[in-house]
Amino acid sequence: MYASFSLTFALMGDAFLYSFLPINASSIQVPIIWIGTILSINRFTRILLNPLILRVFARLGFRLPVIVSATISVFATAGYGAGFGIITLLMLRILWGISYSVLRVGAITYAMDYPKKGLALGVSQSIVESGPLLALLTGPLLFEVINPRSIFLVIALLSTPGIYFAFKLKERNRSPARKFSFKVSFPSIFNRLAFLGAFAVEGMLVVLIGALLLDAKPNWSPVEITAAAAGFLSFRRICSLLISPFAGWSADRYGLPNIYSASILLICLGLLLAANGWVVAGLIVVFTFYNINSSLAAGAASERMSDVTQAVSNNATFRDAGSAFGALIGGFLLTNDHMSLIFTSNTLLLIFLTWVYHRESKAFFA
């Protein structure tokens, strides 16, 4: 819980930046052309540096890197609105990406030490979502009393308890140091699922919510479309906050592979609905069950692994890659007339990989 609280406070500034920057970039001297780069560079940083995080944990343990990362996240948040220039802002986002990798892998690994892994992961995910939700709810209210630049300083101050929780952590046993290598191997069936799921939901769908709603509700004004898109993103986090513990309990009771596979199939149903005209119903289904899926991903990824931290890091890398490339593709699809075909193709591939994964899981646990 200490590791999860440390991560959730660190996430506050990042969560608010995604809602703030596209509309208010000029208030912190950011040209519009740089918005996409600033919001995505932390994801690409994580893809490259996730393998190095394992060596950090092996050499320094878990507690010290989490403390340093929690501290850096506070300073990065304070710097977002300082107006230091594009280069400095990009550097802050890179530092945040590194810090997030450490905090995320740390929080999941600590949760995996608990005997009831499903419940622990669900509770951890619920805690992690509370900070970003708080930032999204309180950030806009701050516009009424302070200028945009100062908002990030206030959020940084609100996120400082994360450092306290990091100091409260006890050290856990270190994994043996592995020889670093850039060797690329073909991903497991599970990590292929993780990549495609993040590609479809965290990447394409998040970027295309507005376009899908506009196609389904052509009479809505831009303000109504924007408000609806923001509402669905908030709904996503609320679902994660409330549903994740129940998902973990269900995984412990009925089998983690069973619940994980079912969540993917229901996500696929939601994607098909959203891409073929039933947008509101589809988004509700996708965001409800994607939260179940993401909260159990670490447990499913490490089912057969002796090195839990390695498994968690590998899975995180593929999820980051999926969301990053999905967001890029989603941007190109904003002016494309074939969104339905692309979503449907991705969904059918997800269903096939889920069948393969579930068959392998049943054979393993038989």
DSSP notation for 196-217? HHHIIIIIIIHHHHHHHHHHH-
User: Token pair for residue 354?
Assistant: 């889920």
Evaluate whether residue 182 is within a structural domain: no
pLDDT, residue 174, reads 58
Mean pLDDT within 73-77: 93
pLDDT, residue 300, reads 66
Rounded to whole angstroms, the Cα distance separating 168 from 195 reads 34
User: Token pair for residue 33?
Assistant: 């052309």
Rounded to whole angstroms, the Cα distance separating 294 from 303 reads 15
Do 198 and 160 fall within a single domain? no
pLDDT, residue 182, reads 47
Q: Please state, rounded to an integer, the average pLDDT across all residues of the chain.
A: 79
Number of domains in the chain: 2
Do 152 and 204 fall within a single domain? no
For the chain, helix, strand, coil in percent to 5 are 85, 0, 15
pLDDT, residue 180, reads 47
pLDDT, residue 312, reads 73
pLDDT, residue 301, reads 65
Sequence-separated (6 or more) residues with CB below 8 Å from residue 167 = 67
∠ Cα 112 115 117 (to 5°): 45
> Is the Cβ–Cβ distance between 331 and 208 less than 8 Å?
no
Evaluate whether residue 184 is within a structural domain: no
Do 201 and 283 fall within a single domain? yes
Do 32 and 139 fall within a single domain? yes
pLDDT, residue 341, reads 78
Do 217 and 141 fall within a single domain? no
Do 58 and 13 fall within a single domain? yes
Specify the CATH number for the domain of residue 49: 1.20.1250.20
Evaluate whether residue 347 is within a structural domain: yes
Mean pLDDT within 46-58: 79
Measure the N-to-C terminal CA separation of the chain; round to a whole number of Å. 33
Rounded to whole angstroms, the Cα distance separating 74 from 70 reads 7
Do 161 and 243 fall within a single domain? no
Do 159 and 202 fall within a single domain? no
Do 303 and 161 fall within a single domain? no
Residue 150: helix, strand or coil by DSSP? helix
Domain coverage including residue 13: 2-168
Evaluate whether residue 206 is within a structural domain: yes
> Is the Cβ–Cβ distance between 263 and 292 less than 8 Å?
yes
Residue 273 CA from chain centroid, whole number: 23
